[in-house]
Structure 1
Amino acid sequence: MKKIILSTAALALTAGIALADGHGKTIRMGTEGAYPPYNFLNDAGEVDGYEREMGDEMCKRAELTCEWVTNEWDSIIPNLTSGNYDTIIAGMSITDEREEVIDFTQNYIPPASSAYMAKSADADLTGGVIAAQTSTIQAGYVAESGATLLEFATYDDTVAAVMSGEADAVFADKDALVPTVEASGGELVFAGDDVPLGGGVGMGLRESDTELKEKFNAAITSMKEDGTINAAIVKWFGEDAKVFE
């Protein structure tokens, strides 16, 4: 199990700190910090992105004092269950397999598509080598697709594998791939058809933290109802991104 590699400054959210255990404490928000635009580290070394904005607002509405920590993706669930932080807010899709180990809030990103990105639109997606981030629903899909799965610890590593020719394509959340394709100057393109996977992205919590889950669910509901979440989705993922109806 890998240790937490970075702790950022606490958020100064002072409006109430009544928590699930009945005592005042700081809620630690665990993220990866390496999956833009969901979450990433900005030039100041602080967690940024869609999930930072949403997480800050969730904590404000839930009247919780929160701070952000980053953890490598491949140990992000074990470090939640062992108590190194209190939530996972890291682009994590809600799946039946994960719900056997942890609990989830309702989704704060609707179910969206995964996609392939390659140097050529004609890349071999069924018989070739496909890169995916380890322990993701995309890696599981590739493993069952007939292609050769090449797993990496980070999203950037999967992209590097395609650029170097080690992999024929990357399979990942399309929302993460879009800015990479746009920034490539035509060197990278989408290949094949989009693939709908997962039940949307939710916040992961320990199964015992039922009151904390209720607080965040109430915050997410209010953010859906007043349009805050949809506005942030468009801001971070673009006008064509799927929003809540």
Structure 2
Amino acid sequence: MKSLTLAAAALALTAGLAPVSSLAQTVRMGTEGAYAPYNFIDDATGEVTGFEIELGNALCERAGLDCTWVRNDWDSIIPNLVSSNYDTIMAGMNINEERQAVIAFTQPYTPATPSAYAALSADVDVESAIIAAQTSTIQSGHVAETGAVLLEFPNPDQTIAAVRNGEADAVLADRDFLAPIVEESGGELVWVEGMDQVVLGEGIGMGLRQSDTELLETFDAQITAMKEDGSLNELILKWFGEDALVFE
């Protein structure tokens, strides 16, 4: 899922914050709650749910950790991790070099899934059009490097609305996020021709403070175990469908 404004995070990182012991207290799992199917709010219960929530809970159970979920807006999600408002990030966050300069990542728990452009017409020229993207994402960073006009929004749903109301010509986001929206639009939204498989980033992983090496190793070991026993692939197929990319 998902360049960040990292100055605040970097400042907090250099402030000498003490690491959190993964064995001494509840591990607070940070997420956005606005990026289905990775993480979103269940309308019936008001609770956060989704692929990452189920995966995070499974990782905690396997590791014998007491974990709780904390919601945070995307644009401040890294600074608030570094400031110890929670201990991990599971929020559709792609691993890239800029983020790795500020926080640590586990190995990816999804393959490097593609991004895609969606629009009201398949013939949009994405190199010169107005493109909507969520702020501080790898998609917004990609658009900024092209000849297109970047229109950023704090919430992913606002990027879709911008296309529908004519404010933007197309949206660029994780394909897994856009796919059900395109499918349920009844033909209103379509993939931009030749632009429905745009590979960005290195896959999605769990973010942690660089000082929390013990906690990172604990979660990394459990991700490896779930890859080896097939249970991670089962969760990917459950939440993203039978055609989803899985680990070999």
Q: TM-score, normalised by structure 1?
A: 0.91
Is 1:165–2:166 an aligned residue pair?
yes
Structure 2 alignment gaps of length 5 or more: 6-18
Partner of 2:51: 50
Q: Contact 1:162–1:169 (CA<8 Å) still a contact in 2?
A: yes
Deviations 1:69-119 (A, max 9, x none): 110000000000001000000000000100000000011011111100101
CA contact (8 A) 1:34 1:154 kept: yes
| Partner Cα distance (1:49, 1:239) in 2 | 17
The answer (yes or no) to whether the contact 2:20–2:87 under 8 Å persists in 1 is no
1:29 is matched with 29
Q: State the shift of 1:20 in Å.
A: 5.7
CA RMSD across the alignment = 1.4
Q: Could you tell me which amino acid in structure 1 is paired with residue 206 of structure 2?
A: M
> What is the total number of aligned residue pairs between the two structures?
228
- Structure 1 runs of 4+ aligned residues shifted over 3 Å read none
Q: CA deviation at 1:21?
A: 2.4
> Contact 1:87 / 1:205 at 8 angstroms: preserved in 2?
yes
Give the aligned partner of residue 129 of structure 2: 128
Q: Does 1:141 align with 2:142?
A: yes
Mapped to 2, the partners of 1:42 and 1:22 lie a distance apart of: 28
Q: 1: CA distance between counterparts of 2:186 and 2:22?
A: 53
Question: SS of 1:116's equivalent?
Answer: strand
Relative distance call for 1:86 and 1:22 in structure 2 (3 A) is closer
Q: 1:93 aligns to what SS in structure 2?
A: coil
More strand by share: 1
Aligned equivalents of 1:155, 1:163: Cα separation in 2: 13
Alpha-carbon contact 2:22-2:214 (below 8 Å) kept: no
- Distance in 2, matches of 1:56 and 1:163, equals 36
Contact kept in structure 1, 2:22 and 2:215, CA below 8 Å: no
Residue matched to 1:221: 224
**1:130–1:139 distance in 2 versus 1, CA, 3 Å:** same
What is the match of residue 209 of structure 2? Answer: 206
Q: Which amino acid aligns with 1:171?
A: L
Residue in 1 that maps onto 2:176: 175
Contact kept in structure 2, 1:20 and 1:210, CA below 8 Å? no
Deviations 1:53-77 (A, max 9, x none): 1000000111100000110000000
Q: What corresponds to 2:39 in structure 1?
A: 39
Rounded to whole Å, the distance in 2 between the matches of 1:75 and 1:181 is 28
**Residue identity matched to 1:112:** T
What is the Cα deviation at residue 24 of structure 1? 2.3
What does residue range 75-90 of structure 1 map to in structure 2 within 5 Å?
A: 75-90=76-91
Q: C-alpha distance in 2, partners of 1:125/1:21?
A: 46
Percent of aligned positions that are identical: 63
Q: CA deviation at 1:124?
A: 2.4
Structure 1, unpaired ranges of 5+? 2-18
- SS of residue paired to 1:91: coil
User: Deviations for 1:142-166, whole angstroms, at most 9, x for unmatched residues?
Assistant: 0011100000001100000001000
Other structure's SS at 1:125 match:
coil
